Structure 1
């Protein structure tokens, strides 16, 4: 089985529980996209690939799809099983999906595809999808038009290293029209509301390359974030904040060749 990127393996293992509490859910409007663009209906066989702790898996299960989750990091699988005990969760990667040929109608990847954006992964996703099957990629993206969100990005970016990231757009290079159609793209406004400790500290400390840092460096990042919360006029003294996101969704259809 191909190795998982070190930042993902170490970071997501170390902060699996923080990921559960710190990451936002998904906007209600996305349910319409899942039904309309991806064609998800009750009992439809769906694979949630790179499922993490199951935040997106929970949304799929709520649509009564017949969901199977695949996740390579053991600590994340454990969190998923705690929250969704009825959903099968399998150890696997995008390049080695432990399912048979043409066994699912939809594959979803939420907050994940940039980790495995290769032709090999697309070939494997193509393999498990039935003819006419759909692939859905979803990301919650920080809205950096808000100044304090841009300040958070400035704190985190120096630690990014070689960790694959959505914002670089490099994940798009895997799509050459061979395995999948051009995407149908939708964008939804979204906010994650809660205490600054959860939606800012917890969210940022669950970022893979931050979670993988030595504890002293992680503490330094946390101190910068707490300083921002304590001093920024939009955050100072607030028990609850609304962290703004854009949820970006990309829907692809399996090509008959490949």
Structure 2
């Protein structure tokens, strides 16, 4: 995906903020707990918070959470649904918080939109020493036969490169895990240190340790109609030409109508919540 396409996808969600809030799943609580278990305190920044899907779970688990979101429509929906949460306009590349003011930074289905060359040092700036950065992604569990069939029928616009477990592991490793050898000052990090999360060249002395990946069982109660509505909120679908989008959604409806697991009433969409976690040294 080139830079213009990346920007188009990243900025597409505001047009569907209400549908996003209604249909997108929350995150497995066990995954959120694991993301935060090494954090030195309860202060958590939900970065790229969207309509507050992850924010709500953080608040329910007792975190002192502040949400930051760049899209005005998404931020308005978050403020409407979670009036007790401090919610600020901002981005991963320009976080409106003081230095060392949070113990953890989390991002729900958002970290792949960040420009980590800029966002990495900015995240390091707001994190307290020993703080945690964690990305969470909801994945379709395509180890289940009918879910694998749904992924094939939906196509790459509806099921992206981080939407199934194997592709998520590969994509997050390629994007965020450290490369062995060299040192951070030469642009190739030391083993166990990822220079893309903070580098001396950018005036940020903080370093992050080796990232860890984990997956946690999850699921979402859906009907055929509500699952189609969920898929329609994905970035690739939102930027698709109308005729192509309707054709894709029509194929998905036909597939769901033909399957015994999904043709009648409610069912559980088998999912996993994948977590990428790294600690600030």
TM-score for the superposition, normalised by structure 1: 0.86
TM superposition shift of 1:65: 1.8
Contact 1:115 1:165 in 2 (8 A): no
Distance 1:38 1:244, change over 3 A: farther
In 2, Cα distance between equivalents of 1:193 and 1:230: 16
In 1, Cα distance between equivalents of 2:212 and 2:176: 16
Contact 2:28 2:217 in 1 (8 A): yes
Contact 1:14 1:212 in 2 (8 A): no
Query: What residue is the counterpart of 2:71 in the other structure?
Result: 73
TM superposition shift of 1:140: 1.1
TM superposition shift of 1:73: 1.3
In 1, Cα distance between equivalents of 2:225 and 2:73: 22
Structure 1 unaligned segments of length 5 or more: list them: none
In 2, Cα distance between equivalents of 1:231 and 1:80: 36
Contact 2:139 2:272 in 1 (8 A): yes
By relative contact order (CA 8 Å, sep 6+), the higher-ranking structure is: 1
Query: What residue is the counterpart of 1:251 in the other structure?
Result: 277
In 1, Cα distance between equivalents of 2:154 and 2:15: 18
Contact 2:136 2:274 in 1 (8 A): yes
Query: What residue is the counterpart of 1:197 in the other structure?
Result: 225
Q: 1:188 aligns with which of 216, 228, 239?
A: 216
Distance 1:164 1:123, change over 3 A: farther
Distance 1:252 1:158, change over 3 A: closer
The number of equivalent residue pairs is: 247
Distance 1:165 1:27, change over 3 A: closer
TM-score for the superposition, normalised by structure 2: 0.79
Q: 1:212 aligns with which of 235, 239, 242?
A: 239
Query: What residue is the counterpart of 2:146 in the other structure?
Result: 148
Query: What residue is the counterpart of 2:17 in the other structure?
Result: 16
Contact 2:154 2:251 in 1 (8 A): no
Structure 2 unaligned segments of length 5 or more: list them: 179-192, 196-206
Over the residues paired in the alignment, what is the CA RMSD in angstroms? 2.4
